[in-house]
């Protein structure tokens, strides 16, 4: 989702859900409707071999979603109750050529992650609810103005203590650590 406003800032939280079915039912009871159907999303995160972007909490990602390739840069998050950070996105006409350009500049794919995403919207409300089915669980992202995030989370039955501010990469590394397995890529079994 492109961020709204002139400063190109993304503000969001994640909430863990027991299942996609539970998430859809919860959103329907709260008056949300699907604005984009469930679709597969593949993400490649680029970094230098030394991991300079990750160490500075920045991200360079190429996303393939609904037949469109999108290049995203995310800056470091600011401290606070929500994950808020600069975000710049642009559509990419030729993802293979972009991969070659990034490789020539010294960037390599360091992490790949996949998910199925369904986008929900509530009429006359400024944010989006994104239902993400990932290989490590189901999450609901609430993205929009901070007051909307808080009121929507509360209406869905979540307290601020349930807010997850970690990226999918960080959640995956934590999942692997807790499971005692070496991290690789967060992808569905083939």
Identify the pLDDT of residue 138. 98
The low-confidence residues of the chain, meaning pLDDT below 50, are: 1-5
Identify the pLDDT of residue 7. 63
Whether the CA torsion 186, 190, 24, 71 is positive or negative: it is positive
d(CA 34, CA 162): 23
Residue 136 domain flag: yes
Phi, psi (deg, nearest 5) at residue 61: -130, 140
Residue 81 domain flag: yes
- List residues bridging with 181 in a β-sheet: none
Residue 4 domain flag: no
Identify the pLDDT of residue 190. 85
Residue 83 domain flag: yes
Identify the pLDDT of residue 66. 87
Identify the pLDDT of residue 4. 43
pTM of the model as a whole: 0.92
CATH code, domain with 56: 2.40.320.10
The domain total for the chain is 1
Output Rg (C-alpha) for the chain, integer angstroms: 17
Residue 93 domain flag: yes
Domain that holds residue 30: 9-179
Identify the pLDDT of residue 75. 96
The SS3 assignment for 16 reads strand
């Amino acid at each position: 989702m492109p961020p709204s406003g002139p400063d190109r800032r993304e503000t969001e939280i994640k909430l863990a859900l027991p299942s996609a079915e539970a998430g859809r039912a919860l959103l329907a009871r709260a008056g949300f409707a699907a604005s984009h159907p469930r679709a597969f999303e593949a993400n490649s995160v680029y970094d230098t071999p030394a991991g300079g972007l990750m160490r500075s909490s920045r991200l360079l990602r190429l996303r393939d979603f609904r037949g469109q390739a999108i290049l995203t840069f995310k800056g470091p998050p600011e401290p606070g109750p929500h994950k808020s950070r600069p975000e710049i996105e642009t559509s990419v006409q030729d993802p293979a050529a972009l991969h070659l350009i990034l490789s020539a500049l010294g960037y390599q794919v360091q992490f790949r992650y996949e998910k199925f995403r369904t986008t929900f919207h509530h009429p006359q409300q400024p944010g989006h609810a994104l239902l993400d089915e990932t290989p490590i669980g189901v999450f609901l992202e609430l993205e929009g103005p901070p007051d909307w995030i808080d009121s929507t989370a509360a209406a869905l039955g979540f307290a601020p203590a349930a807010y997850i501010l970690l990226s999918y990469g960080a959640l995956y590394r934590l999942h692997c650590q807790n499971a005692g397995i070496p991290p690789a890529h967060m992808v569905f079994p083939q």
